């Protein structure tokens, strides 16, 4: 279950070490989709199963299910699903799921929520989950008497309604009260009495429940009034379930883009004023509010038409259609915004049962009650209105759209994060928001700006196992190769304490020895090299994904150590760096072989063989000189695999059938030894064949997965001479040796939806 912890200001993001439930995820919009999903998972916002559903695309309504939902189904229609970040509501963090096709809504909401949290976030009152049912009675005469009789029998009517739904009463809900009114029909002047049944429907939207109750009391109502009941149905004007939310934004947070805080605040108040005075503006103003509300309604499987109907009817309650929000200037200078909007939603039943995305989105919100979800929806309406009015009061909506468009183009063009903002600005200035233009600008910038910057960065190698994984645990040799430039890091002497930024992974953390996981490990490293009390910012630029069996954690440690060494002139030897990285591996992974840290430090192809004798430990590694350059493409499944788990699985089989498994390990060991000479002598065809054989043995050890198999087959089909899983298996990565086909293998991996990393080893 998610713990939605609260954080009281934005500036504390760098200090947050416990990420659980946090809705601040720096650089989220720039991450590849898979990394966004894992950032949500890392914060405990979605489960393992959710990650699996999202990455496999199985989170959508399946066709056979859709066929049972409506008639004449011919397909399932897709819409983008995203999340708005930064929401702090009643001191709790929320990541808000949104399903919508219009650009700028998600970004607008995240930006508005970010600004709001600087002033303490949003507040919202509990929303009463009350739905009204209507019973229309046609009577011959004396409506006053009919109304009075109904009111006198209020308790009986309520009790009768509740007898039809005892479960709702047991859940603390049920019919509560009645109200009555009368009117004369416009067409033929007939007399009508209408009874409202007020029902607390708890976490259900309640439409069916209320309709059943209205139908169930109809005969009794006829008996009491002597009339004839006609309509018996809920009302979508759900004005007993009003979400009232509020936000207070300090002036200093409003300023920007050449406007003072006062100018922005007064502009928003003025824009709101027109929407209070004039229905033409009010319709557009409220449409903006519904941009956010509907997107969240869709994401949570709620009936957005019902919510729309309620909002617009309520907006006309004073006899004139008006804005649903109010923005004021308060004495102390603050901008204060308020919304009151009917919000009758459900968190049980309906699409929650049929649509896996809806279930994911409810979990993302911390599985709220209907009352809590209604509050969040009110807040989202207010935030969206703020974003729209702020944009309209400053650069205007078109400029904002342009900005977003430019961001998306820069992202498609693969612009590196270090000059992303500059490329976006230059693109807008150029008026030519095109992918080729973004690439051209980025290229020019990299010539001018980036070279000196990257020179400050220190790098470390990742690793792949070319041959011999798993058998290596049983004393056979393994060959490891380096992945050049796997992680880069730079240390700047600035800030307060030690902060680590990994923009690609959305990590922005203060490093403390007591911190769990990775921040604690870096803190220990820094104290081991005597820098614990320094002020520094460590920036890390990983070029390989996490937890994919590519030695990322060792590479991270080595790159950080080298960057600190460079910044503080410590003159650490490679041996010392390797030792320290090995200590990190032990803390992170228990009993590592030492391969990862050794390759991360020295960046050389190595043959590793475990030594029985402690005294011979130095002899574990033998350098290998390559007879020919190697061109390899790494295919990443995106499925995390824990090497410790696969090692344990293989061990269990070995324990059961030691002879059978020993002979498999022997086979792997033998082809690894032949592989060593093939590498040294540049016999690439033979090496490829050995890799294919090795994959077969690893398959026999049941270490492959459908994704790994798909990648292996794609690689072989597109010209790889050898392809195999690498490392632990059960997910993670595979490698393809493709001397003449690097490009086509890379493209084919990408076309099938996998990340591809080409490397060349000289």
Active site amino acids: 102, 287, 303, 401
Site residues for ligand MEV, window 562-621 (CB under 6 A)? none
Determine, following the binding rule CB under 6 A, whether residue 467 of this chain makes contact with ligand MEV: no
Which residues does 497 contact at the CB level (< 8 Å), separation at least 6? 510, 511, 512, 535
The least CB distance from residue 123 to ligand MEV, in Å, is 22
**Distance, CA of 325 to CA of 435 (rounded, Å):** 39
Determine, following the binding rule CB under 6 A, whether residue 53 of this chain makes contact with ligand MEV: no
Which CB, 285 or 457, lies closer to ligand MEV?
A: 285
CA angle 642, 644, 647 (to 5 degrees): 115
Number of residues that bind ligand MEV (CB under 6 A): 9
Stretch that binds ligand MEV, among 59-67, 109-117, 195-203, 285-293 (CB under 6 A): 285-293
Which CB, 392 or 473, lies closer to ligand MEV?
A: 392
**757 has which bridge partners?**
634
Stretch that binds ligand MEV, among 72-80, 283-291, 715-723, 725-733 (CB under 6 A): 283-291
Determine, following the binding rule CB under 6 A, whether residue 397 of this chain makes contact with ligand MEV: yes
Instruction: Give me the long-range contacts of 509-518 (CB less than 8 A, separation at least 24).
Output: 509/14, 509/15, 509/16, 509/17, 510/14, 510/15, 510/16, 510/17, 511/538, 512/17, 515/17, 516/17, 516/18, 518/553, 518/556, 518/588
Give me the DSSP letters along 55-116.
HHTTTSPPHHHHHHHSSS--------EEEEEEEEETTEEEEEEEE--STTHHHHHHHHHHHH
**Distance, CA of 240 to CA of 132 (rounded, Å):** 8
The least CB distance from residue 260 to ligand MEV, in Å, is 22
Determine, following the binding rule CB under 6 A, whether residue 342 of this chain makes contact with ligand MEV: no
Determine, following the binding rule CB under 6 A, whether residue 470 of this chain makes contact with ligand MEV: no
**Distance, CA of 405 to CA of 86 (rounded, Å):** 22
- Selected binder of ligand MEV within 21, 44, 288, 594 (CB under 6 A): 288
* DSSP 8-state symbol, 127: P
The least CB distance from residue 326 to ligand MEV, in Å, is 14
Which CB, 377 or 465, lies closer to ligand MEV?
A: 377
The least CB distance from residue 341 to ligand MEV, in Å, is 15
Which CB, 388 or 599, lies closer to ligand MEV?
A: 388
Looking at 542-657, list the stretches that DSSP marks H as alpha helix, in order from N- to C-terminal side.
552-568, 574-589, 595-602, 643-656
CA angle 56, 61, 64 (to 5 degrees): 110
Determine, following the binding rule CB under 6 A, whether residue 287 of this chain makes contact with ligand MEV: yes
Give CA separation, 124 vs 87, 204, 371, 373, 758, in Å.
Answer: 12, 20, 10, 11, 51
Residue-wise burial string across 189-204, b where 16 or more C-beta atoms lie within 10 A, e elsewhere:
eebbbbbbbbbbbbbb
What is the pattern of x (binds ligand MEV, CB under 6 A) and - over residues 235-274? ----------------------------------------
Site residues for ligand MEV, window 524-553 (CB under 6 A)? none
Determine, following the binding rule CB under 6 A, whether residue 348 of this chain makes contact with ligand MEV: no
Which CB, 329 or 401, lies closer to ligand MEV?
A: 401
Site residues for ligand MEV, window 419-438 (CB under 6 A)? none
Determine, following the binding rule CB under 6 A, whether residue 325 of this chain makes contact with ligand MEV: no
Determine, following the binding rule CB under 6 A, whether residue 282 of this chain makes contact with ligand MEV: no
Determine, following the binding rule CB under 6 A, whether residue 291 of this chain makes contact with ligand MEV: yes
The least CB distance from residue 284 to ligand MEV, in Å, is 4
Site residues for ligand MEV, window 623-642 (CB under 6 A)? none
Which CB, 389 or 415, lies closer to ligand MEV?
A: 389
Cα 477 from chain centroid (whole Å): 41
Instruction: Give the nearest residue (CB) to ligand MEV.
Output: 288
The least CB distance from residue 267 to ligand MEV, in Å, is 12
Which CB, 283 or 588, lies closer to ligand MEV?
A: 283
Which CB, 292 or 635, lies closer to ligand MEV?
A: 292
Determine, following the binding rule CB under 6 A, whether residue 292 of this chain makes contact with ligand MEV: no
Give me the DSSP letters along 147-196.
HHHHHHTHHHHHHHHHHT-HHHHHTT-EEEEEEEEEEE-TTT--EEEEEE
400: helix, strand or coil: helix
- Selected binder of ligand MEV within 114, 202, 232, 285 (CB under 6 A): 285
Determine, following the binding rule CB under 6 A, whether residue 284 of this chain makes contact with ligand MEV: yes
632: helix, strand or coil: strand
Determine, following the binding rule CB under 6 A, whether residue 111 of this chain makes contact with ligand MEV: no
Which CB, 101 or 614, lies closer to ligand MEV?
A: 101
The least CB distance from residue 241 to ligand MEV, in Å, is 24
**Distance, CA of 480 to CA of 708 (rounded, Å):** 19
Determine, following the binding rule CB under 6 A, whether residue 388 of this chain makes contact with ligand MEV: yes
Give CA separation, 652 vs 21, 593, 609, 647, in Å.
Answer: 37, 20, 22, 9
Residues forming contacts to ligand MEV in the complex (CB under 6 A) are: 102, 284-285, 287-288, 291, 388, 392, 397
């Amino acid at each position: 279950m998610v713990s939605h912890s609260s954080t009281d200001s934005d500036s504390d993001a760098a200090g947050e070490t416990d990420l659980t439930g946090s809705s601040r995820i720096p650089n989220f919009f720039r991450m590849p989709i898979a990394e966004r999903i894992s950032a949500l998972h890392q914060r405990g916002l979605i489960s393992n199963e959710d990650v699996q559903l999202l990455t496999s695309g199985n989170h959508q309504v399946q066709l056979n299910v859709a066929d049972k939902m409506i008639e004449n189904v011919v397909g399932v229609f897709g819409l983008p699903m995203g999340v708005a970040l930064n929401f702090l509501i009643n001191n709790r963090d929320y990541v808000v799921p949104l399903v919508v096709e219009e650009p700028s809504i998600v970004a607008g909401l995240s930006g508005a929520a970010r600004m709001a949290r600087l002033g303490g976030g949003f507040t919202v009152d509990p929303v009463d989950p009350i739905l009204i049912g209507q019973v229309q009675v046609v009577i011959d005469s004396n409506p006053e008497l009919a109304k009075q009789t109904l009111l006198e029998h209020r308790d009986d009517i309520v009790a009768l309604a509740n007898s039809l739904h005892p479960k709702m009463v047991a859940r603390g809900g049920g019919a509560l009260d009645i109200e009555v009114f009368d009117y004369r029909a416009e067409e033929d002047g007939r007399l009508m009495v209408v009874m409202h049944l007020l029902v607390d429907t708890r976490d259900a939207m309640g439409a069916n429940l209320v309709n059943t109750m209205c139908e169930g009391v109809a005969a009794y109502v006829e008996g009491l009034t002597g009339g004839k009941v006609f309509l018996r149905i809920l009302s979508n004007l759900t004005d007993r379930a009003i979400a009232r939310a509020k936000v207070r934004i300090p002036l200093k947070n409003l300023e920007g883009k050449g406007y003072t805080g006062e100018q922005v605040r007064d502009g928003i108040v003025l824009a709101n004023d027109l929407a209070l005075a004039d229905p033409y503006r009010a319709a557009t103003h409220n449409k903006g509010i519904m941009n956010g509300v509907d997107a969240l309604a869709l994401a949570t499987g709620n009936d957005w038409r019902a919510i729309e109907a309620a909002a617009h009817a309520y907006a006309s309650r004073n006899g004139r259609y008006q804005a649903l929000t109010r923005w004021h200037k308060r004495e102390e200078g603050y901008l204060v915004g308020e919304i009151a909007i009917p919000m009758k939603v459900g968190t049980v039943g309906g699409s929650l049962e049929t649509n896996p995305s809806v279930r994911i989105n409810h979990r993302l919100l911390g599985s709220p009650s209907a009352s809590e979800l209604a509050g969040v929806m009110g807040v989202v309406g207010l935030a969206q209105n703020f974003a729209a009015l702020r944009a309209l009061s400053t650069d205007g909506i078109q400029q904002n759209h342009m900005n977003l468009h430019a961001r998306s183009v820069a992202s498609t063009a693969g612009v590196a994060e270090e000059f992303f903002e500059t490329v976006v600005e230059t693109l807008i200035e150029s008026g030519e928001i095109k992918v080729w233009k973004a690439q051209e600008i980025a290229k020019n910038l990299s010539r001018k700006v980036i070279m000196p910057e990257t020179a400050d960065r220190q790098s470390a190698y990742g690793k792949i196992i070319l041959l011999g994984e798993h058998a290596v645990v049983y004393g056979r040799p393994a060959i490891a190769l380096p992945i050049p430039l796997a992680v880069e890091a730079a240390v700047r002497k600035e800030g307060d304490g030690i902060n680590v930024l990994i923009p690609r992974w959305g990590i922005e953390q203060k490093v403390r020895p007591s911190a769990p996981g990775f921040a604690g490990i870096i803190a220990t490293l820094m104290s081991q090299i005597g820098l614990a009390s320094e002020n520094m910012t460590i920036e890390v630029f990983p070029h390989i994904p996490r937890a994919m069996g590519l030695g990322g954690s060792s590479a991270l440690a080595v790159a950080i150590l080298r960057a600190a060494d460079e910044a503080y002139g410590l003159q650490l030897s490679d041996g010392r760096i390797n030792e320290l990285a090995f200590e990190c591996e032990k803390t992170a992974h228990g009993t590592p072989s030492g391969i990862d840290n050794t390759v991360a430090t020295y960046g050389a192809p190595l043959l590793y063989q475990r030594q029985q004798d402690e005294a011979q430990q130095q002899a574990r590694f033998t350098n290998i000189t390559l007879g020919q350059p190697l061109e390899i493409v790494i295919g990443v499944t995106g499925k995390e695999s824990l090497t410790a788990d696969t090692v344990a699985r293989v061990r269990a089989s070995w324990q059961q059938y030691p002879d059978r498994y020993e002979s498999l390990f022997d086979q792997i060991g033998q082809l690894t030894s032949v592989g060593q000479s093939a590498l040294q002598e540049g016999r690439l065809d033979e090496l490829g064949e050995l890799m294919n054989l090795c994959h077969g043995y690893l398959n026999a050890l049941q270490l492959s997965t459908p994704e790994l198999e798909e990648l292996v087959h794609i690689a072989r089909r597109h010209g790889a001479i050898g392809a195999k899983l690498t490392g632990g298996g059960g997910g993670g990565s595979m490698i393809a040796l493709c001397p003449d086909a690097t490009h086509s293998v890379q493209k084919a991996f990408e076309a099938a939806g996998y990340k591809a990393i080409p490397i060349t080893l000289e």
